[in-house]
Amino acid sequence: MRIRELRRKEVINITDGGRLGFVGDVDLRMPDGQTAALIVYGPARFFGLFGRGEEYYVPWDSIQRIGDDIILIDKPAQHRDPALERRRRKKF
């Protein structure tokens, strides 16, 4: 499966039935090239002018099933702080 195919799929948590959103990015382990997690971007605030809401970090082992148009997960996703991620990227 290609990453662009994953980006069209909506992530749904089966523990509470919550819709997290659509896959925005994929976290890969570089030495071995395996997928570590999916990153789901939060909803846009006021037509995208004020940024986005919180992001979700969905570990690959919490994915139960990948269907034609949805991805089912069984664990609550971890919230990710975008400010922390920006600081981490600036160090490299």
H or E element at residue 26: strand 19-28
> What's the pLDDT tens digit per position in 28-83?
888 888 888 998 887 666 665 666 667 888 999 999 999 999 999 997 656 665 55
Q: Is the pLDDT of residue 16 over 60?
A: yes
Q: Is the pLDDT of residue 85 over 90?
A: no
Ordered domains of the chain (ranges, CATH):
3-91 (2.30.30.240)
53 vs 8: which has the higher pLDDT: 8
The token pair that represents 67 in the structure block: 């269907």
Amino acid letter at 74?
D
Tokens 């909803």 sit on residue: 43
